Structure formats: structure tokens, C-alpha cells
Amino acid sequence: MHPSSPYQLLHQSSECPARCGRVSTLHGTFDTPVFMPVGTLGTVKAVTPENLVELGAQIILGNTYHLFIRPGHELIRTFGGLHGFMHWDRPILTDSGGFQIFSLRELAKITEKGAEFRSHLDGTKLCLSPEDAVHVQEALGSDIMMVLDTCIPYPATLDEAARATALTARWARRCRRAQSDSGQLLFGILQGGMYPELRREAAAELIDIGFDGYAMGGLSVGEPKELMHEMLDASVHLLPDSHAKYLMGVGTPEDLVEGVYRGVDMFDCVMPTRNARNGMLFTSRGRVVIKNSCNREEQRPVDEQCYCYTCRNYSRAYLRHLFQSREILAYQLNSIHNLHCYCSLMADMRRAIAEDRFMAFRKTFYEQREIPHQE
């Protein structure tokens, strides 16, 4: 039923489902729990691959939909895949494009065949079937490919969610059949909307097909945070502990801590880089809006507990000046800081799990931020 798993469990918390492990891919291993910086267009915005290595990124994410449209997967194939094209020699995960088609659904039509859509760039009519999604990702040469899925909006009726979940399952089976023996991994995606019974049925179907890892999709699509946690609680334990569990598109530092607490291994989100470009920085004590006037003459770094390149070398006053002046360097320095914050948070959690003190870590995490402790 299951292919041999590329996931190896290293430590399991005795206090909660939190765990740390290692995933093996064609371009090396990465340790979990892990945060994957998002490089939608073949670049993590405003930072170089060398920046990413320095700040501790082990694996990054690219997007099938966007790269399929521009510059095209066949062009990227001629460079030896995305690794050669973008000068990154560590693992890459590619999202199948399902979420982008969901986001641009006014341009898309979902049928049994696949997603028919118009390019958001020039309106060209295109089609992406489950088989196409796999073949494009194989051309991109990603280490972890995702099945094409249908993301369910919130709110959705039980009937709407059931139809979309069943279609995702049929597409998942087609993706598995289309996969070649390239050595690239293929992860299934658990949908089901906000209905635990649908997620139970979907999990059983995915496990029957058998994937190299399993993702939870359709969360963080506008539902209240409490409902997201409820659905996460209802989903994580449905997936086999022998395989990596990936929560797609999530989220804030608090979301990462809560996901790890519940047994999630992998995360991705545009938030650290997008917020950096908007002047919102994450710190060990909460969020800093760099343009605020209180930072005008501030000689301290963004976070005195942070050892990233930005905090080692630049003051809040300088970062505020760059941001107010719309200097390109503002986006790079802010992005380096936020990504380092996320990657170091994951490293701290891996260490806490390995030393079996995750619950104490979680408690301190909230106390530092003066956020009510989650129970």
C-alpha cells in the first residue's frame, strides 16, 4: 500500500505529538519540522540563494502554475531543471498549481479533465490536467512534487466540499499513475473543507493510493483560527506517522508552533517575505512595523536576540530610512531578517523536541510575546 517512506523519525516528544525527523530527496536531506521559504517564480523574493543558505533554509518552494506560464517548463528543463536555472543545489518542493487556480478561479473552469484557465498575464487559454501537473513538475526537476488538487473555499456547503474532495481523490490517483521513475517524490493532498468526516474519507483514499508524503490543504483560506486548529486536530492523526506531514500555506510564527505541537513536519508561507516588503518584521517579542515614528532615531537592531545579517549590522533607524525612501535594499534586509526569524524558530523547535522540552518551549514562546497561552 505504502511506498517506502523517505521520512525517518528521529525524536518523538513524550508530552505531545510534536516530533522531529529527516526527509531524504534527490538533492540531499532536510530536517523536520521545517519551514520552506516560498520562491513562486523560481526566486525567493529579494534574497539570493547564498542569503538563503546563510539564514538556514534547507528546502524552498516553487510553483508549477506560474513557471508553466512563464518562462515555461521546457525552457527550465534545458537548464537541468529549476536547480540549475536558479542556482540552488538543495531540495525544492513544487506546488502543483491547484491553489493558484483556486485563487484565480474567476479565470478558471474546473472539469473532470483538469483545470481550464486563462493566463493571468495575457489571457491565453490553457489547460492543466493531473497528468500535465506531474509532467511539468518532472521537467522542473523538483525533489518533491504535489498532486493537482481542487482547493475548497470557505465557507462551502457539505455537498460542494464533498464533490470537490472526490474530484481531488480521482485526480490524485491519476497523478500517481502518471509519475515516472525519476526518483522525484510525490505527495498527496488531503482536502475535505471544514468537514471532519470528509477529511476521514479523503485520508483513507490517499493512503490506499499510497504516496511518499501527505499534505493537508484547504486550511488558512479565510476560516477563523480556532476552526483551522480544529480541522488540523481532525486531520493530522489521519495521516500515517511513517510519512512526512505537510501543512500547506501556513502561516504566522504562532501557527508554526501550533502546527508542530500537533505533529506537523513541513510548512510554507509567503508571509515572511511579503510582510518584509510591507515593512512588518517578526521578532522574538512580536511584530515591529518599521515605518513607525518610534524607530526614527532607534539605534538598536530589529531584534536584540537575533543574529541574522540584518540585525548584526543595521539599526532600526536605518531600516526605517530605507523603507521610507523605498530603497530596494529595504526589501532585501527585511526579508533576510524575517526568513531568518522563521528558520531559527524551526531550529529552536527541533532542538526542544530532541531534548524533550517542547511544552516548556511553547510556554516561553507565548510569554515572550505577551500572547495568551494556547491551551
Task: Kindly state whether residues 315 and 344 are assigned to the same domain.
Answer: yes
pLDDT at 120: 87
pLDDT in tens, 65-118: 999 999 999 999 999 999 999 999 999 999 998 888 778 777 788 999 999 988
pLDDT for 199 beyond 50: yes
pLDDT at 293: 98
Confirm if 283 and 302 have CB atoms less than 8 A apart: yes
DSSP 81-126: SHHHHHT--S-EEEE-SHHHHHHTGGGEEE-SS-EEEE-TTT--EE
Report the mean per-residue pLDDT for the chain: 95
The last residue of a domain, from among 249, 268, 287: 268
SS3 content of the chain, % helix, strand, coil (to 5): 45, 20, 40
CATH of the domain at 68: 3.20.20.105
pLDDT for 308 beyond 90: yes
Dist. CA 82–CA 66, nearest whole Å: 13
Dist. CA 46–CA 53, nearest whole Å: 14
Q: Output b/e per residue, 231-245; b: 16+ Cβ within 10 A.
A: bbebbbebbbeebbb
Nearest C-alpha neighbor of 278 from the set 310, 221, 326, 312: 326
Task: Kindly state whether residues 215 and 343 are assigned to the same domain.
Answer: no
Catalytic residue among 132, 149, 265, 268: 268
Residue 2 belongs to a domain: no
Task: Kindly state whether residues 90 and 174 are assigned to the same domain.
Answer: yes
The residue behind cell 499534505 is 215
Active site residue 122: no
Residue 327 belongs to a domain: yes
Residue 1 belongs to a domain: no
Residue 25 belongs to a domain: yes
Dist. CA 15–CA 12, nearest whole Å: 9
pLDDT at 1: 45
Q: Tell me the sheet residues that pair with 92.
A: 60
Task: Kindly state whether residues 238 and 330 are assigned to the same domain.
Answer: no
Confirm if 99 and 249 have CB atoms less than 8 A apart: yes
User: Quick count: other Cβ atoms within 10 Å of Cβ 371?
Assistant: 12
Please tell me which residue, 192 or 100, carries the higher pLDDT value: 192
Catalytic residue among 89, 95, 181, 233: 95
Task: Kindly state whether residues 259 and 147 are assigned to the same domain.
Answer: yes
Task: Kindly state whether residues 230 and 344 are assigned to the same domain.
Answer: no
Position 245 confidence tier, pLDDT thresholds 50, 70, 90: very high
Confirm if 174 and 150 have CB atoms less than 8 A apart: no
What values do phi and psi take at 130, rounded to 5?
-55, -40
Task: Kindly state whether residues 92 and 237 are assigned to the same domain.
Answer: yes
Task: Kindly state whether residues 305 and 188 are assigned to the same domain.
Answer: no
Residue type, 98: G
- In the DSSP assignment, the letter for residue 38 is B
pLDDT at 372: 53
The strand pair at 280-283 and 286-289 is best described as antiparallel
pLDDT for 374 beyond 70: no
Dist. CA 338–CA 342, nearest whole Å: 6
Task: Kindly state whether residues 236 and 319 are assigned to the same domain.
Answer: no
Task: Kindly state whether residues 20 and 76 are assigned to the same domain.
Answer: yes
Confirm if 101 and 65 have CB atoms less than 8 A apart: yes
Task: Kindly state whether residues 101 and 172 are assigned to the same domain.
Answer: yes
Tally of structural domains, the chain: 2
The residue behind cell 527550465 is 76
The last residue of a domain, from among 268, 303, 326: 268
pLDDT for 373 beyond 60: no
**Domain of residue 342, residue span:** 277-369
Active site residue 268: yes
Confirm if 258 and 366 have CB atoms less than 8 A apart: no
pLDDT at 3: 63
Confirm if 349 and 47 have CB atoms less than 8 A apart: no
Residue 374 belongs to a domain: no
Nearest C-alpha neighbor of 217 from the set 147, 140, 273: 147
Task: Kindly state whether residues 24 and 148 are assigned to the same domain.
Answer: yes
Query: Which cell goes with 209?
Result: 493510493
Query: Burial of 325 by CB count in 10 Å (0-12 exposed, 13-18 middle, 19+ buried)?
Result: exposed
The last residue of a domain, from among 231, 247, 268: 268
